[in-house]
Structure 1
Amino acid sequence: MSVRTETLPYRHVLTLPAMGAAVRTARETTELVLLECGVGLRHPSVGPALLILAELVTNAVRHAAALSPTLTVTYAHGPGVFAFAVHDRHPYLPALYGALAIKPGSGLATVVEMTMELGGTAVVRPDADGRGKSVWITLPL
C-alpha cells in the first residue's frame, strides 16, 4: 500500500503533553475521528489501529518526553485509507523494520507486524531540522 498522506482530504491534529494520560486521550480521540470519517468502531482495522497508536504514544511518552514536552498525533483519512502519525521532538529515529529482527516481541516490532498484517505501511519521517520525527502508519479500510 503506497499512499501519499499529504494528499488525503481529511485532517485532524491533536497536541498533548508527553504524559501517561496522553495515551488514553489519543485513543479516545482516534475513536471519535474514525466515527467522524464514517468508520464504525467494529471495523476489523479499528482494534489493531488503536493498539498501534497506543504503543506509539506510549513510546513517545517514555522515550522522548525529556526533549519533547508535547507530542502531536495527526490523523488523515481518504477513500479506503486511514493514516495517523505520532510526532515528537526527540532526534532518535527508530528502525521500525529492524525491530522485527533485533527485538521480536517488542512494542515497535508489534507495531510493524500488526501494520503489515493489515496490509498497511509504517514509516519514520525525520523533521527537516533533524531534531524530531513522525512515525506514520497507513492502513487500508
Structure 2
Amino acid sequence: MSAGVEVLPLRQVLTAPAVPASVRLVRETAERTFDEWGIAPTHPTMGPALLILSELVTNSVRHAAVSSPRLTVTFAAGEYTLAFAVHDRHPYHPGVFAAAGGTGGLATIAEVMVESGGTCVVRRDADGGGKAVWITLPL
C-alpha cells in the first residue's frame, strides 16, 4: 500500500426511511454493492463491516428517527480501503471511541473497528443539525 490518502473511486449512495426494516435493506444493499465491486462475501473485512454498518443504521433508526425521518448511507472503496458512512439529521454527536469501555451499540462498533484496524470520524453537518459517521476498514 502506498503512503498517503487513498482515493476511493467506487461509490454508491442509498437513502432510506429511518425505520427498522431499513437495517436489513442497508445490509443487503451493502452485501450486493461490495460483491459487485469484487469484495467477496467471504472477505475477512465483510463480517466486521456489516456488523458495524448494521449497528450504525440501528442507532439512527432508534435515536434519530424523530428528527430525521430519512437516513443516507454512502458506500465507497478503493484498492486497499472499504469505507461507509451513515448520515442522519439528528444533532447529537456520538463519541464512538469514548464508548469503547461501555456497553451497547457504540461500544460494539468501537471494539470491532479497533480489532479490524479501522478508523472512525464523525462529521457534523455545516449547520450543526446532523452528522455522518464515517468508518474505514482495510481490505
TM above 0.5, yes or no, is: yes
Percent identity over the alignment is 59
TM-score normalised by length of structure 1:
0.93
Aligned pairs, number: 137
- Kept in 2, the 8 Å contact 1:11–1:75? The answer is yes
2:123 equivalent in structure 1: 125
Deviation at 1:131, TM superposition (A): 0.3
- Kept in 2, the 8 Å contact 1:3–1:138? The answer is no
- Map 1:14-53 to 2 at 5 A: 14-53=14-53
1:75 equivalent in structure 2: 75
Moved over 4 A (4+): 2-5
Structure 2: give runs of 5+ residues left out of the alignment: none
Deviation at 1:105, TM superposition (A): 2.5
Matches of 1:43 and 1:11 in 2, distance apart? 19
Structure 1: give runs of 5+ residues left out of the alignment: none
TM-score normalised by length of structure 2:
0.94
The root-mean-square deviation of aligned C-alpha atoms, in Å, is: 1.5
